[in-house]
Amino acid sequence: MRKIYADGTAEVEFLNELGRRSGETNRKVTETVSAIIEDVKENGDEAVKNYTLKFDGSLPEYYEVPRDVINDALTEADPDFVNALLNAQENIADFHKRQVEQGFINARADGVILGQRIRGLERVGLYVPGGTAAYPSSVLMNAIPARIAGVKEIIMVTPPLKDGTPNKDILVAAAICGVDRVFMAGGAQAVSALAYGTEEIPKCDKIVGPGNIYVATAKKLLYGVVDIDMIAGPSEILVLADETADPKFAGADLMSQAEHDILASAIMVTTSEKLADETISEINRQKEYLSRKEIIEKSLDGYGAIIITDSREKAVELANRIAPEHLEVLMENPMELLGSLDNAGSVFLGHYASEPLGDYFAGPNHVLPTSGTARFFSPLGVASFTKRSSYIYYTKEALAEAKDDIVLIAEREGLTAHANAIKVRFE
């Protein structure tokens, strides 16, 4: 893991390199996904099943998972695992209930009524990866705020395991969260089915959930046909640390994100060179007993770094420039810095707010903006699953007060039909 001394040039070169890590979507992937989208649009479930056979090797036992199979997965699951998910669910629900927005009405003295309605989307599609990248925690993080927002129906798609069965842990999470229907389909074909609807898979208003490059590309290409959560890039963590930080904690937290993907970035910005050296030693020690050691090594070698700076202020400046998905503050009096940390998906304050706490349990959502987009994007939340409509009521008298201004602006823009629509009401 490289050490970089912040001198105004070295760290900038590294950050520029980091910005190129995900690059443009491979043209071949785009062509492949575009063809799949068109096929599913034209041929529906037949196309989805053909791609399942092609990519997964065989068709699953059932296309839609029967409700009793979902219920049985919950009944037969390890009780400790179920309790852990239920505890996480309670925290996630408590946090997201506080995000609920209320509509408003402004009834003015002149008879004008203005307002806004907020309500949940009709139907949302939840993509859940299968195989080794099966994350029941993502089911909770996507389905719980959707339910709180008032979404009427949640449709899950997930690829079958090699034996054609669904991942039981995912079904447990689906049962706990009240997912309405689960279909055994994955990849760009499943995303396309959710976007356009097929004979069996209902058309959805929004698609959320993580996936590989084919899933991400499909969501990107279908945005506009359907809403999506975000275009997610590789996972990332930035750890701000000073001499009070424990290198054992810092190293472990950096690797917790590096294990996701060889393109993941794990960066520490510190005011202590001693801590930098000790953290590297801890990484070298701890990685030896971790199951994803090879991925961690490639990630840290390619996109990991420890940047040494001479002040907390400079460290904060770099954090805001990087705008990381996850930002840990392992510094003395971390709450003092919170008001200055403007660009981050989620901020973890103090030595015991380790990033996996946010991934699984604390309550804030773990679906976060990546690749610097925390400068203008926000985490997934209740608002992600709602839509707003404004409404207007005017009396004749109130419109008479406003008509000259409206006509003037409309005619200034050359939109005489707009002006006329006001004028005819007073002829």
For the stretch 155-210, pLDDT in tens is: 999 999 888 889 999 999 999 999 999 999 999 999 999 999 999 999 999 999 98
Q: In whole angstroms, give the CA distance from residue 309 to residue 3.
A: 11
For the stretch 262-281, pLDDT in tens is: 999 999 999 999 999 999 99
CATH number at residue 149: 3.40.50.1980
Q: Is residue 86 part of a domain?
A: yes
The answer, yes or no, to whether residue 23 has pLDDT greater than 80, is: no
DSSP category for residue 226: B
Q: Which of 260, 326, 351, 366 is catalytic?
A: 326
- Residues spanned by the domain of 411: 394-426
411 is catalytic: no
State the chain's mean pLDDT as an integer.
Answer: 94
Same domain for 338 and 408, yes or no, is no
The answer, yes or no, to whether residue 28 has pLDDT greater than 60, is: yes
Q: In whole angstroms, give the CA distance from residue 335 to residue 108.
A: 43
Give me the mean pLDDT over the 315-326 stretch: 95
3-state secondary structure of 211: coil
Kindly indicate the confidence band of residue 295, based on its pLDDT and cuts at 50, 70 and 90: very high
The answer, yes or no, to whether residue 26 has pLDDT greater than 80, is: no
Looking at residue 365, its pLDDT comes to: 96
376 class by beta-carbon count within 10 Å (0-12 exposed, 13-18 middle, 19+ buried): exposed
Same domain for 51 and 185, yes or no, is yes
Looking at residue 212, its pLDDT comes to: 86
Same domain for 176 and 50, yes or no, is yes
Give 42 or 261, the one with higher predicted confidence: 42
Give me the mean pLDDT over the 56-77 stretch: 93
Looking at residue 131, its pLDDT comes to: 63
DSSP category for residue 272: -
Q: Which of 16-25, 209-218, 304-313 has the highest average model confidence (pLDDT)?
A: 304-313
Residue that terminates a domain, selected from 197, 228, 259: 228
Give me the mean pLDDT over the 12-18 stretch: 88
96 is catalytic: no
Kindly indicate the confidence band of residue 261, based on its pLDDT and cuts at 50, 70 and 90: confident
Same domain for 297 and 185, yes or no, is no
The answer, yes or no, to whether residue 258 has pLDDT greater than 90, is: yes
- What stretch of H or E contains 184? strand 181-184
Same domain for 125 and 189, yes or no, is yes
Looking at residue 22, its pLDDT comes to: 58
Rounded to the nearest 10°, the torsion over CA 13, 15, 16, 21 is: 130
Give me the mean pLDDT over the 308-318 stretch: 94
Same domain for 178 and 160, yes or no, is yes
Phi, psi of 331 (to 5 degrees): -135, 160
- Residues 43, 189: contact at Cβ < 8 Å? no
Give the lowest-confidence range in 3-12, 169-178, 198-207, 239-248. Answer: 3-12
Q: Is residue 374 part of a domain?
A: no
Looking at residue 25, its pLDDT comes to: 57
Q: How many domains does the chain have?
A: 3
The answer, yes or no, to whether residue 378 has pLDDT greater than 70, is: yes
- Residues 156, 183: contact at Cβ < 8 Å? yes
Q: Which of 325, 328, 355, 366 is catalytic?
A: 325
Residue that terminates a domain, selected from 188, 205, 228: 228
